[in-house]
Amino acid sequence: MPRTKRFDEEEVLTKAMRLFWKQGYAATSVQDLVAHLGINRASLYDTFGDKDRLFKQSFELYRKQSIQSIKKLFDEYSDVKEGFSRLFAQAIEEALEDKDKKGCFAVNTTTELVPNDASCQEILEANRLAFERLFYDYLHTGQQSGQLDGKNLRVLASMLYVTYNGLLVVTKIHTSKHELLEAANLTLSLLG
């Protein structure tokens, strides 16, 4: 008779995401996962597969949650420059308040696993494209309403993605909120 699971898969996946985000892939052992998640090895393997598959599922959860959160924020601001300003300010605030200084899970994964893991490179590229598409769509809405006349939206979306990720990296070592906001605002001045 099959055993019934006594845990919430999404809750366990969220815990795994946070552990991988904090420690990285290589520094997180299967034993760390078992201890942190509160499930046994058999349940971990039966439900999520091996460590690599669990990591990729965790990363996908992170990507999904991040995109949903940013989309929700953009929906609150019809002014594109104001929306990106709020996004950058919020990212800086959250990063500076994070006692673990985790930064961005995607950037951390990029610096740890690329170029040695081709499958990770694929999910990270998909992540970049998804974020740039989200940024592009928001910029396009702004352009349609006359906010961004004559701007190359693909280039702007790429630049804003680079800036967003750069801020999340730099906040690990540079803690002047004022200076970080000034840098973000200089980037935003290109929007007009």
What pLDDT is attached to residue 45? 92
Angle between helices 41-48 and 51-75 (to 10 degrees): 60
State pLDDT tens for residues 4-61.
567 788 999 999 999 999 999 999 999 999 999 999 899 899 999 999 999 999 999 9
pTM recorded for the entire structure: 0.91
- Round to whole Å and give the CA distance between 126 and 167: 20
- Coil/strand/helix, residue 38: coil
- Number of domains the chain is built from: 1
- Round to whole Å and give the CA distance between 19 and 16: 5
Mean pLDDT of 170-190: 94
Domain that holds residue 90: 58-191
What pLDDT is attached to residue 7? 74
What pLDDT is attached to residue 165? 94
Angle between helices 51-75 and 30-37 (to 10 degrees): 60
Structural domain contains residue 112: yes
State pLDDT tens for residues 85-99.
999 999 999 999 999
Q: Which residue has the higher pLDDT, 174 or 70?
A: 70
Identify which of 91, 61, 110, 82 has the alpha carbon closest to the alpha carbon of residue 180: 91
Structural domain contains residue 35: no
Question: What number of CA atoms fall less than 13 Å from residue 154's CA on the CB side?
Answer: 1
Structural domain contains residue 155: yes
Instruction: Check: CB of residue 177 under 8 Å from CB of residue 96.
Output: yes
- Proportion of the chain in helix, strand, coil states, percent, rounded to 5: 75, 0, 25
What pLDDT is attached to residue 1? 43
Return the CATH number at 104: 1.10.357.10
